[in-house]
Structure formats: C-alpha cells, structure tokens
Amino acid sequence: MDMQLANKRAFISGSTQGIGYSIAKALLREGAAVVINGRDASRVKQAVKDLEAEVPGGSVAGIAADFTEATHVQRLLDSLGGVDILVNNVG
C-alpha cells in the first residue's frame, strides 16, 4: 500500500472523539505520525490506545491541553515540536 503521508507529522486539536478522532485515524492510515489533543488527560490517553489498536504500527501520541487556558497552550507548544499538517478542530 502506498503511504501518501509517510515521513509527515500531523497535529489535530480536539481529537479524542468525533470528527477529530476520525481525521487522526485517516492520517495514521496514510502513514503520518499523529499527535492528538483533548482537554482531559485520561481521554487523550484512551484515544491514543484506541488509535494504536485500530491502526497497528501507526505512530500516535497525545498531549492534553485546554485551549481556554494560556498556560496549557504554551505547554502544548513547548512540547509539540514541528508539524507538517495542522488540523484545528477546536471550537
């Protein structure tokens, strides 16, 4: 299978469920390394586990951050690193 997004890194905000989660899964299936986000650390952790199970061999990580809190956003930016694909699914 041709992985169209191999060697690309994606960040999807608001991606522990719904549309954001589906986008993360689609990007993983295309070979991108994916970083998901949500406000609740336990939900982020569970969504990472679920994605790992649904897309074996995919590279997925998560960062919990509430975008209404400036300190959370700064922590996210400090830990995120570079991305090739940005999907803003918050708000």
Q: What's the pLDDT tens digit per position in 19-57?
A: 999 999 999 999 999 999 999 999 999 999 999 999 999
Q: What is the rounded CA–CA span in Å between residue 85 and residue 50? A: 21
Number of neighbouring beta carbons within 10 Å of residue 13: 19
Task: Indicate whether 64 pLDDT > 80.
Answer: yes
Per-residue pLDDT, averaged over 69-78, amounts to: 94
pLDDT confidence of residue 90: 85
**Superfamily of 9-87 according to CATH:** NAD(P)-binding Rossmann-like Domain (3.40.50.720)
Banded pLDDT at 91 (limits 50, 70, 90): confident
Contact between residue 26 and residue 3 where contact means Cβ atoms under 8 Å apart: no
Distance of CA 34 to the CA centre of its chain: 5
What local confidence, expressed as pLDDT, does residue 3 receive? 80
Contact 34, 10 (CB under 8 A): yes
Cα separation, 67 vs 65, whole angstroms? 6
Would you kindly state where each structural domain of the chain is located, as residue ranges?
9-87
